[in-house]
Chains A and B, each alone.
Chain A
Amino acid sequence: MKRRTSPLLLGVLAFAFLCQGLLQRLVIFDTWSKDYNPGKGKMFTGAMSPDQMLAVLGGFREITAGILWVKADTFFDQGNYDAILPLIRLVTLLDPNEIDVYATGMWHIGYNFTDEEQRSDRRYIPSALALGKEGTRQNPDTYELFFEEGWLWYHKIDDDYDNAVKWFKEAQTKKDMMTARKNLLGMAYQRTGQIGNSIDTYYNLYDEAVKRYQTENAFGNHQNRDTLESNLDNMLVRKVQRGVQAELEKRPLTGYDADPPFDVGFSVKATVVEPNIIRFEGTWNVLPVGTRIRVVLRDADYPHAKAAGMEWDYSSDVNLDPPRDRTFMQEQLFVKNRRFNKKVDMSKDPTMYPFTSDKYVLEFYYNPRSAPPHIQDKFSWSGEGLTDKNYLRTDVRPNQRVVFCSIPITRDMVKRRGEWVDKVPVVKTQNYLESAPDAGRGDDDAVLKIPSLRGSSGK
């Protein structure tokens, strides 16, 4: 005998089905998406979504991430840097709360890919920044990745310091920010030329440090207070001596260290001594050591390029495969006895310097904001005490007086091909003097007398 289906049971079934659907859609899903989704904080990656990967691995994602990171450490010890990149990506996708992996990954991507002469592969810098940005989105409650992002701008990119300030300020808002690291915001403000903000930062930190020392009489607190006091003293003295205070009070700069601006007499000659090997020679009239002039050799149409650099922050995608068909060489030319002379060998690293384009550009750049304090004592923070008859530029970086010059060069010249097989390619600035051993240096009276805080010449 066939049994009859109870209409009541069917009714209950339909009602229950409706209830569960409403519960899922109206009550549960939004809360889950916001608070329990393992990949919350959207990942900007074209790869497999982290949610899917996490779901596959279920509850074991952190342990898997840990094992992979141990493996990455092994690769690192072996110098197998390329193998680490996918692991970094995988670990951060598996466990977006692995702050150390983000921080180490940024450092690794930004610093460790180098050529035979230990020059970093700058094509990776946007990826390092993007990884850090993703880390901050995934870990918004801790200071570390905000700080690391700022540090990459401050130390590695060593330019565009407004970005360093932005990230350090963000790090400062986090409860767990390390006391000793807070000082860097003051340093970064200096490098943006915001002297008032720098001093305010130091005053605030000093007040905090005094209170902390009064509360706990520990050596670290004592040391921190004294360091801040010293920083503050230096800043106040420099602010006055470099004429910033006078400028604020609209007084003439006469008599202050940054006045009159000093002509650095920049000139350069680049000689392709062998295929992919270039010697840079030139002049810079500053005698005290500590000057580093940036030289960049890049594709003329390098994506997102700007004067002596690029829009480093152009991407939020963590792309660990940089434009491998492009070339971006960046090096520092150290000045000694008012001259620089450096051979840059790009012949041993064809993957880093592929030279596949036809046209390239050589750029030379000096920004006083990156200069050491004893040089800044003359040039001041934004180049107020710096000039160059030929290459002073005020349009290259906002509100800064920098030295910049750009010289086109072709692939055939760099690789000594075509018409350059039997000729030595040379490009130079018009003011470069070939004949004299002191070419372009000018007379000795033009040597910069760097004032120090003690008032000596520094010569």
Chain B
Amino acid sequence: MRPILAIASTTVGEAIRRKVLLIILLIGVLFIVVAPGLGILSARSETTVLKSFMLGVIQGVSAIIAVILTVYMIPNEIERRTIYTILSKPVQRWHFLVGKYFGAVASLFLMMVLMSAVMGLMFFLQQQSKNPGEVAELMKGPMMYFVQMSLLAAVAICFSTFVAPLVNFFLTVGVFLVGVFFNPLFQSLQDNQNTAPMVKGIARLVNTVLPNFANYNVQNPLINPTSAIQNEGRYYLGITVYGVVYIGILLIIGILIFDRREV
């Protein structure tokens, strides 16, 4: 466990020093700060627009950070040959991979906490303390986004064990978009009576096999709290377990491939 933690903490330090990530983070925070001014775009729906925009910024910026942070992680170590100094020590390859992943997730966590805190503050100020409980309610969004982004980081780490960073970038973004699409698309196909049974079957299969990022888009009821949701906790627990299991799958695949790779 110690090598994993050591690698993870080093990765966090590296991530925090990477200027490109900090700039993206800064832009995200700035967007969140100016968000209350966008309420004019929708009469009587200022709160809706504010929540939507801030959650959208957090999700978008986190996704960019997660991808940029992870696609270069393993290839850079190999390219700079720093991996040799690590692997020459009593460190297994899987220690290295898992450590890198945990480091990336920890960095992501820190950045998302910062954005969420700014969001909470801005929302609290805009609402003029009318309903502080709403701020806590709103935080459910970033919490689920964090699981979503951890899953995205796992996808990128898995790909980074066998493809070049640029290819990895497009692959990861592609999987993310497909994963975000799939629940709605599957729902549409399922509801459409004209869809051929075979197409429905294929959609169901793909929906079951690929990582389903749309599960974590829980913002709709947070933005439009018009209907009471039953078993909310059960759902959050379900998608968190799903995320952890899928992250495990991706890391195992990554370990299996990385173990065989010539470095």
**A9 with B48, Cβ < 8 A, contacts A36-B218, A59-B60 known:** no
1/0 per position for B149-186, CB-CB distance to A under 8 A? 00000000000000000000000000000001101111
Q: Is the CB of A58 within 8 A of B59?
A: yes
Q: Which of A65-73, A192-200, A205-213, A327-335 has 4 or more CB atoms under 8 Å from chain B?
A: A65-73
With a CB–CB cut-off of 8 A, which chain B residues contact A16?
245-246, 248-249, 252
| A80-116 at interface with B (beta carbon < 8 Å) | 95, 97-100
Q: Is the CB of B252 within 8 A of A12?
A: yes
Cα distance, A450 to B43, chains bound together (Å): 48
Q: Is the CB of A23 within 8 A of B217?
A: no
Q: Is the CB of A36 within 8 A of B217?
A: yes
B129 at the interface (CB under 8 A from A): no
**A35 with B184, Cβ < 8 A, contacts A9-B255, A58-B59 known:** no
With a CB–CB cut-off of 8 A, which chain B residues contact A39?
184, 187
Cα distance, A28 to B256, chains bound together (Å): 29
Q: Is the CB of B214 within 8 A of A32?
A: yes
1/0 per position for B202-217, CB-CB distance to A under 8 A? 0010011100101101
A215 at the interface (CB under 8 A from B): no
Min CB–CB distance B147 → chain A (angstroms)? 12
**A31 with B252, Cβ < 8 A, contacts A16-B245, A39-B184, A62-B53 known:** no
Give how many A-B residue pairs fall within 8 Å (CB-CB). 159
Q: Pick the contact of A97 from B181, B188, B209, B226 — CB < 8 Å?
A: B226
Q: Is the CB of B45 within 8 A of A66?
A: yes
With a CB–CB cut-off of 8 A, which chain A residues contact B38?
63, 66
Q: Which of A47-55, A125-133, A375-383 has 4 or more CB atoms under 8 Å from chain B?
A: A47-55
With a CB–CB cut-off of 8 A, which chain B residues contact A358?
none
Q: Pick the contact of A60 from B43, B53, B224, B235 — CB < 8 Å?
A: B53
The size bracket of the interface on A is 35 or more
B126 at the interface (CB under 8 A from A): no
Q: Which label, helix, strand, loop or mixed, suits the secondary structure of the A interface?
A: helix
Q: Is the CB of A141 within 8 A of B183?
A: no
B239 at the interface (CB under 8 A from A): yes
Q: How many chain B residues have a CB neighbour from A under 8 Å?
A: 61
With a CB–CB cut-off of 8 A, which chain B residues contact A304?
none
With a CB–CB cut-off of 8 A, which chain B residues contact A40?
220
1/0 per position for B34-45, CB-CB distance to A under 8 A? 000010011111
Identify which of A31, A35, A36, A65 gathers the most chain B CB atoms within 10 Å of its CB: A36
With a CB–CB cut-off of 8 A, which chain B residues contact A63?
38, 41, 49, 52-53, 56
Cα distance, A12 to B94, chains bound together (Å): 15
Min CB–CB distance B190 → chain A (angstroms)? 8
User: 13 more A-B contacts (CB under 8 A) besides A13-B256, A52-B188, A60-B52?
Assistant: A12-B248, A13-B252, A13-B253, A23-B245, A27-B234, A28-B235, A38-B220, A59-B57, A59-B217, A61-B52, A62-B49, A62-B51, A100-B42
Sample 17 A-B pairs with CB under 8 A, ordered by A number: A2-B260, A3-B259, A5-B256, A9-B256, A13-B252, A20-B242, A20-B246, A23-B241, A23-B242, A24-B215, A37-B187, A38-B220, A59-B219, A61-B52, A70-B41, A141-B227, A142-B226
Q: Give chain A's interface residues, CB within 8 Å of chain B.
A: 2-3, 5, 9, 12-13, 16-17, 19-21, 23-25, 27-29, 31-33, 35-40, 42, 49, 51-52, 54-55, 58-63, 65-67, 69-70, 95, 97-100, 139-142
Q: Give chain B's interface residues, CB within 8 Å of chain A.
A: 38, 41-45, 48-49, 51-53, 55-57, 59-60, 180-181, 183-188, 191, 204, 207-209, 212, 214-215, 217-221, 223-224, 226-227, 229-232, 234-235, 238-239, 241-242, 245-246, 248-249, 252-253, 255-256, 259-260
